[in-house]
Structure formats: structure tokens, C-alpha cells
């Protein structure tokens, strides 16, 4: 977990980075990281190497 302060409000949290097969919808990788870790940093670890396409969001 990681803490962050915005204004006078403190936030504590984590992110779940999830790798899902686009064809079947099955989850093949899940990584929990602190909230301050960028998704771009974790993107490579979510790929298993046999992908023909990769999709992502900034949500």
C-alpha cells in the first residue's frame, strides 16, 4: 500500500494490474502493486509472449 496526499485529504491504496486473453476472456496474470506504480511500468509483466495484439486503458 502507498499513501498520497491531495490537498488536506490522505489516500491509501493499491492497484491490480490484470492480463486477460482477448479471445477467451480468461485472466492469465494478476499483479497487485502500490497505487503510485504506473501501469506502463507493469505492462511488460502482464504479457505472456504469444500475443498478436495488446490493449490497455488509462483508467
What are 1-59's pLDDT values in tens digits? 778 788 898 888 888 888 888 888 899 889 888 877 777 777 788 888 887 888 877 65
6 touches 13 (CB < 8 A): no
In the block, residue with C-alpha cell 511488460: 44
Radius of gyration from C-alpha coordinates of the chain:
14
32, 37, 34: which is closest to 19 by C-alpha? Answer: 32
Coil vs helix vs strand at 3: strand
Amino acid at each position: 500500500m502507498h499513501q498520497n496526499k491531495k490537498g488536506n485529504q490522505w489516500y491509501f491504496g493499491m492497484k491490480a494490474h490484470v492480463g486477460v486473453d482477448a479471445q477467451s476472456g480468461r485472466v492469465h496474470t494478476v499483479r497487485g502493486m502500490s497505487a503510485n506504480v504506473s501501469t506502463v511500468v507493469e505492462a511488460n509483466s502482464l504479457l505472456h509472449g504469444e500475443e498478436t495484439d495488446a490493449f490497455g486503458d488509462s483508467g
